[in-house]
Amino acid sequence: MHTHPGTEAARPEATAAGRTRVAIAGATGYTGQELLRLLARHPHVSIAAATSSGASAARRLPALARIWTGSIVPLDPVALANEAELVFLALPDTVAAELAPRLVDAGVRVIDLSGAFRLRDAALRARWYPETHDLPDHLAYGLTEFARSEVARARLVANPGCYPTASLLALKPLVDAGVLLPNADVIVDAKSGVSGAGKTPTERTHFSEVHGSLSAYGVLGHRHGAEIEQGFGGPVTFTPHLVPLDRGILATIYVRVAPGTTEEALGDIYEAAYRDATLSCTAAARRSMPR
């Protein structure tokens, strides 16, 4: 990482209350608004800025009127670097691929919610995220339950995709426990609400296409399949489906475990994997906040 001279001295310090100055770029989309809703209530966060995905005029978000009273302002990379210590990017892949390295070079910590930096393999990135040519230094894949220390140190965190999060949280404890049969098929049958496709309207997400319907899409060709395989460490058959719900994901995953593995043993594996997740997550968030 290369920090420009004088950048650190120019950036505002945390507020007197010890809160971290956070900005959200792309706060008008579904993900950005939900993120703003959460961060505005966070006891260790001060919202330094919330921007649109481009140069649109400033406006307010009436849906958040009782939570956050600020205004959405046009996207300005220079202002983000000067006003915030930590920036969340809820932007399209192409925009995030360009903006994230600029902010990191300016000394800002970045959590990218797009897919631009999730895939480590260059050939896979060239297929699914061709705008991302290289991965910056100090990058972490932010499946926090399994990369807590890496996330705490990272200058850039690639937030996992929706389907990979649901799938890997189910699969990784079994992998780590060594109970999966080697070379056995792994099948992920996942169903998502419509908001996962974002705000931009398409024929596939039109009300008349979705209402009362369930459909498979991206069969044998969904970019989240590569991300799931990366986290799992082997081939996975992944089929996503769209269901007539606003939000949420249900992933039904089929695996083969070693003979004699009981339901109780599987329960113990998951309980051990996530027993301290909530408390550890809170503590890690406090420790990792930049000062």
Report yes or no: 138 and 180 within 8 Å, Cβ to Cβ.
no
Structure tokens at 95: 């925009």
E strands, 123-235, are 139-141, 156-158, 187-192, 215-216
Q: What angle do CA 99, 104, 108 make, to 5 degrees?
A: 105
The Cα 157–Cα 118 span in angstroms is 9
Report yes or no: 179 and 263 within 8 Å, Cβ to Cβ.
no
Cβ neighbours for 236, distance < 8 A, ≥ 6 positions apart: 167, 186, 187, 188, 225, 228, 229
Q: Of all helices (H) and strands (E), which one includes residue 169?
A: helix 162-177
Report yes or no: 116 and 132 within 8 Å, Cβ to Cβ.
yes
Active site residues: 162
With b meaning 16 or more CB within 10 Å and e meaning fewer, what string describes 211-244? eeeeeeeeeeebbbbbbbbbbbeeebebbbbbee
